[in-house]
Amino acid sequence: MSWSRSEPIMQIENLEKHYPLSGGLLSGEVGRVKAVDGISFDIHEGETFGIVGESGCGKSTAATSMIRLEEPTGGQVRYKGKDITEYDSTELKRFRRNVQMIFQDPDSSFDPRMSIGDAVAEPLIVQGMSDRKKREAIVADLLERVGLSASDMARYPHEFSGGQKQRIGLARALAVNPDVIVADEPVSALDVSIQSEILQLMKELQEAFNLTIIVISHNLGVIREICDRVAVMYLGEFVEVANSEELFNDPQHPYTRALLSAIPTPDPRERGLGVELKGDVPDPSAPPSGCRFHTRCPEVIPPENLELSQSVWRDVLHFRQRVRDSTLNLDSVAETAAVEEGIDTDDIDGDISVSDVPAETVITQLRRENNLPTELADSTANETLDKAFDQLARGDLEGAKETLEESFMTVCERDAPVLTEREGRQVSCHLHDDVTTDGSMLEADQPVSD
Ligand code: ADP
Ligand code: MG
């Protein structure tokens, strides 16, 4: 093989895994879950690379498709220079040995009827090591290396704690002397008190066995403890890739900042300074347009011609979203407005609608519900909102939708940012565009503040 140690041991390029979304019998494919939607990174021998992001963002799918436990639907993975999708069966078998995976739940990875010794020896048997004495010697050595004792060999899985089982899982992965370990949430199922111990053990084993490690976690604390480099993943994509230290000291992407501020810190002065991440990860079969994070981003860039503080702008965006997806229910607005204003609703036939309540009252209620003041600093924004409120008070939801869409369109929603390299780190965010699409300059790194 022509691979040299100075080259990356693994190169992942535009890796993609889409799952077909079927509409049931006969209706065929109605969409695609874009679980992993084009991620790229290199990893060098001996390095620990982390992938972090909320549940459902595609981390596990990234792991299983980069080692072909599942077939990727696009992109390339090279291991020691060679494309793993071109492997013949012998090469694939060797690859499966060289790259071992560790899973979250240590319980499900052990057969309760098989002794620990047999479990750890199993991969050796698969590999064709028929000498029992030799196998036992290796197993004994491995168990001690992971902090257990050789005599544990004869015991059964239920006799061990979760942390011990994860140690045994590591021993079993190491039995075949792999180059790479892919650990998917390796400590998430464990008590916080023993998480560090296992991470520490992984570090020691990495040194001792010259391992390359890919760690996946939803927990930035875990990533911080063991990774050299980190990719932050959101809805199937990487939004920021940086050295661990740089990422934690100086996060560049608003999503990274939001994740970081969610880490509990012992120092109360640092607590709660950051922004809170609201809502769930959107549906990966219909990701938001433009920047996929814009629906939850606390730093969405306001339209170029509007002078709005970030907090007011957020409220305007929320309001627009409620109108857009019709979660704003005009009937219930009318009803609350009627109650608030003490309007006698007894003589109204059937349900109350906006036409039963004076427009002014409806608008007051709309402003109140959506946290929108009567006067915004920006006159254009004021006019737009007034127009939309009038339309809503007349029951014209569609008209209001159009009004809001036209005036409150942002670059974050319109254009997908590209993961670009700057000073050794990669970020995909319009706050980092030097020049916006209409040619005006943006002050990078300076979200609009109050
Ligand atoms: P994570 O590990 O970050 O929690 P996953 O990789 O498990 O995320 O899932 C990413 C997305 O892909 C989720 O929306 C999940 O529902 C979806 N998904 C995972 N596996 C499948 C599958 N076999 N078929 C369809 N969708 C899937
Ligand atoms: Mg997962």
Nearest atom (ligand 1) to Cα of 284: 14
Nearest atom (ligand 1) to Cα of 185: 2
Q: What percent of the chain has pLDDT over 90?
A: 69
Instruction: Check residue 271 and give its pLDDT.
Output: 43
- Where does residue 435 rank: exposed (0-12), middle (13-18), buried (19+ CB within 10 A)? exposed
Instruction: Check residue 391 and give its pLDDT.
Output: 95
Residue of higher predicted confidence among 107 and 321: 321
Residue 57, Cα to own-chain centre: how many angstroms? Answer: 4
Q: Average the pLDDT over 74-101 and give the result.
A: 95
Nearest atom (ligand 1) to Cα of 21: 25
Residue 343 has pLDDT above 90, yes or no: no
* Atom 18, ligand 1: residue with shortest CA distance: 35
- Residues 428/431/434/437 CA torsion (nearest 10 deg): 90
Residue 269 has pLDDT above 90, yes or no: no
Instruction: Check residue 48 and give its pLDDT.
Output: 98
Q: Average the pLDDT over 153-167 and give the result.
A: 95
Burial 248-276, CB ≥16 within 10 A → b, else e: beebbbbbbbbbbbeeeeeeeeeeeebbe
Q: Average the pLDDT over 429-450 and give the result.
A: 57
**Distance (Å, whole) CA 64 – CA 66:** 6
What would the 3-class secondary structure string for the chain be?
Answer: CCCCCCCCCEEEEEEEEEEEEECCCCCCEEEEEEEEEEEEEEECCCCEEEEECCCCCCHHHHHHHHCCCCCCCEEEEEECCEEHHHCCHHHHHHHHHHEEEECCCCCCCCCCCCCHHHHHHHHHHHCCCCCHHHHHHHHHHHHHHCCCCHHHHHCCHHHCCHHHHHHHHHHHHHCCCCCEEEEECCCCCCCHHHHHHHHHHHHHHHHHHCCEEEEEECCHHHHHHHCCEEEEEECCEEEEEEEHHHHHHCCCCHHHHHHHHCCCCCCCCCCCCCCCCCCCCCCCCCCCCCCCCCCCCCCCCCCCCCCCCHHHHHHHHHHHHHHHCCCCCHHHHHHHHHHHCCCCCCCCCCCCCHHHCCHHHHHHHHHHHCCCCCCCCCHHHHHHHHHHHHHHHCCCHHHHHHHHHHHCCCHHHHCCCCCEEECCEEECCHHHCCECCCCCECCCCCCCCC
- Where does residue 379 rank: exposed (0-12), middle (13-18), buried (19+ CB within 10 A)? exposed
pLDDT tens, position by position, 272-329: 444 567 777 899 999 999 999 998 898 999 988 888 888 899 889 889 989 988 888 8
pLDDT confidence band for 263 (50 / 70 / 90): low
Q: How far apart are the CA of 289 and the centre of ligand 1, in A? A: 20
Q: Considering every ligand atom shown, identify the ligand nearest to the alpha carbon of residue 59 and give its number.
A: 1
Residue 1 has pLDDT above 80, yes or no: no
**Distance (Å, whole) CA 326 – CA 315:** 16
Q: How far apart are the CA of 161 and the centre of ligand 2, in A? A: 22
Instruction: Check residue 195 and give its pLDDT.
Output: 95
Residue 436 has pLDDT above 60, yes or no: no
186 Cβ neighbours under 8 A, 6+ residues apart: 102, 103, 104, 166, 198, 199, 202, 215, 217
Span of 178-182, 269-273, 313-317 with lowest mean pLDDT: 269-273
Q: How far apart are the CA of 230 and the centre of ligand 2, in A? A: 16
Instruction: Check residue 275 and give its pLDDT.
Output: 53
Q: How far apart are the CA of 92 and the centre of ligand 1, in A? A: 24
Instruction: Check residue 90 and give its pLDDT.
Output: 93
pLDDT tens, position by position, 222-253: 999 999 999 999 999 999 999 999 999 999 99
**Distance (Å, whole) CA 146 – CA 160:** 14
Residue of higher predicted confidence among 138 and 356: 138
Long-range CB pairs of 24-32, under 8 A, 24+ apart, other chains included: 31/285, 31/286, 32/285
Question: Of 201-205, 335-339, 420-424, which has the strongest mean pLDDT?
Answer: 201-205
Instruction: Check residue 224 and give its pLDDT.
Output: 95
Q: How far apart are the CA of 93 and the centre of ligand 2, in A? A: 25
Q: Considering every ligand atom shown, identify the ligand nearest to the alpha carbon of residue 52 and give its number.
A: 1
* Atom 17, ligand 1: residue with shortest CA distance: 35
pLDDT confidence band for 24 (50 / 70 / 90): confident
Residue 267 has pLDDT above 60, yes or no: no
Instruction: Check residue 165 and give its pLDDT.
Output: 95
> Which residue out of 15, 16, 33, 215 has the highest number of ligand 1 atoms within 8 Å of its CB and is therefore the one to mutate?
33
Q: Average the pLDDT over 96-110 and give the result.
A: 88
Instruction: Check residue 107 and give its pLDDT.
Output: 77
Instruction: Check residue 305 and give its pLDDT.
Output: 84
Taking CB atoms and a 6 Å cutoff, what residues make up the pocket around ligand 1? Answer: 19, 33, 35, 53, 55-61, 284
**Distance (Å, whole) CA 438 – CA 127:** 61
Q: What percent of the chain has pLDDT over 70?
A: 92
The identity of residue 414, as a single letter, is R
Instruction: Check residue 443 and give its pLDDT.
Output: 45
Q: How far apart are the CA of 395 and the centre of ligand 2, in A? A: 44
The identity of residue 262, as a single letter, is A
Instruction: Check residue 351 and give its pLDDT.
Output: 78
pLDDT tens, position by position, 3-21: 999 999 999 999 999 999 8
Q: Average the pLDDT over 89-108 and give the result.
A: 90
Q: How far apart are the CA of 343 and the centre of ligand 2, in A? A: 53
Residue 347 has pLDDT above 80, yes or no: no
Q: Considering every ligand atom shown, identify the ligand nearest to the alpha carbon of residue 65 and give its number.
A: 1
> Which residue out of 61, 233, 237 has the highest number of ligand 1 atoms within 8 Å of its CB and is therefore the one to mutate?
61
CA-based Rg of the chain, rounded to a whole angstrom?
Answer: 27
Average pLDDT score over the chain: 89
